[in-house]
A = this chain, B = another copy of it.
C-alpha cells in the first residue's frame, strides 16, 4: 500500500501535477488513478478539489488560452502598423509558450475527443485566425513580401513557434534564454536568415 500524503494541494499546485501527467501519458491515457498516484493523495481528495479529470483539463487549457488571448489586448498588439503588431504578437506568443510551457504543450496536443478538447481546438483556431487577420492587414499595407500567401505564412509561422515545445526546457528559469529564443523566432520569420 502506498502512503497517501496529507492533501496540502491548492487548485493551482494540483493542476501543475495533472498537466505533467496529461503531457506524459496523453489526456486519453490518463485515469483518476494515475492522477491520484502522481499527486500522492487519494482519488476522493482530488474530487474534493475538482469534479474530475475533464475539469482539470479545462482549467489547464484555460490558463494557456488566457495567456495567449491576453497578448491580443496588449498595446503592442492593438496599436500601430499591422506588421509591427504582428511582430509583437509573434514574439509574445513564443514568450507565453515558454513561460506557460506545460499548459501550452497540452493545448497543442489535444485531439478533440471530449467537449473540453473541442472547445480548446476551437479557441486555438480563433487565436490563429486573429493572427492570420494581422498578416492579411500587413500584406494589404504592403509591409509583407507580395509573394507571401497569408494562409501558408500563418501556418509556417505557428509551425515554427509551436515547435519550441518539442525541445525548449528552461534551465533555472533564466529569462534571458527565453528572450534569445523569442528573438531568433522574430528574426527568422521577419528578416530571414540571409544577409
Contacts and interface: CB of A to CB of B under 8 A. Distances in A.
Given A138-B193, A190-B194, 4 more contacts: A145-B195, A147-B187, A152-B180, A188-B192
A189 interface: yes
Contacts of A149: 180, 184
The binding surface of chain A is classed by DSSP as helix
Interface in A67-125: 83
Interface string A116-143: 0000000000000000000100100011
Contact of A192 (B146, B155, B184, B192): B192
A160 interface: yes
Interface residues of A, number: 38
Contact of A153 (B158, B162, B166, B188): B188
A173 interface: no
Contact of A193 (B142, B144, B167): B144
B144 A156 contact: no
